Amino acid sequence: MNELGGCLCGQIRFMVTVEPRNVTLCSCRFCQKATDSNHMVEPVFYRRDSTITKGTPKRYTHVSGGSGKEVHVHFCENCGTNIYLGFQRWDDIIGIYSSTFDRPRWFDVRAENAKFIFLNEAVHGTLIPAGLPTYRCHATDNDRVAQKATVYERPHAI
């Protein structure tokens, strides 16, 4: 299996070879600003399962307000498209901006593989799907200790 994607201008292209290990939906202010949306949809992969097939993304380093750790935004310097994130907290994984896939809905978002984080920063009116584990902040603390999830039985508006 190969899923392809890239930036608006085509200068950066990438490929993943497996299903995402999980999918994160995030409503933190960083993700709102980076996507101009209520939340980011971020399929997460091990680095070894993704390849840049064309071009070299530029990198911007941001310190997360939630963890205090570095988040590395990889983007096209020509058209400005954000392609993927790298994380100081988890150096073996990347989160790809779902909209950069050629087929942005190729992967499933379901209770078994997804979580919705940073509901405490969600824009008023954000709709939370039923059945997903949700968290007020991160799903784990900086020591990777799992936090308590809330699961809504029906779609829930913040």
Whether the per-residue pLDDT at 142 is higher than 80: the answer is no
Confidence of residue 69 (pLDDT cuts 50, 70, 90): confident
Confidence of residue 139 (pLDDT cuts 50, 70, 90): confident
The CATH architecture one would assign to domain 3-157 is Beta Complex (2.170)
Whether the per-residue pLDDT at 118 is higher than 90: the answer is yes
Q: Is the pTM of this model over 0.85?
A: yes
3-state secondary structure of 31: helix
Sheet bearing 3-6, strands edge to edge: 3-6, 13-16, 50-54
Backbone region of residue 149 per phi and psi (left: phi > 0; alpha: psi in -120 to 50; beta: other values): beta
pLDDT at 79: 97
> Domain locations in the chain?
3-157
- Residue with tokens 């999830």, as numbered in its chain: 149
> Which tokens go with 136?
């007020």
pLDDT at 106: 96
How far is it, in rounded angstroms, from Cα 128 to Cα 122?
10
pLDDT at 97: 97
**Mean pLDDT score, 83-104:** 95
Whether the per-residue pLDDT at 66 is higher than 80: the answer is no
Query: Sign of the C-alpha dihedral, residues 21, 3, 16, 32?
Result: negative
Output phi, psi for 34, to 5 deg: -70, -25
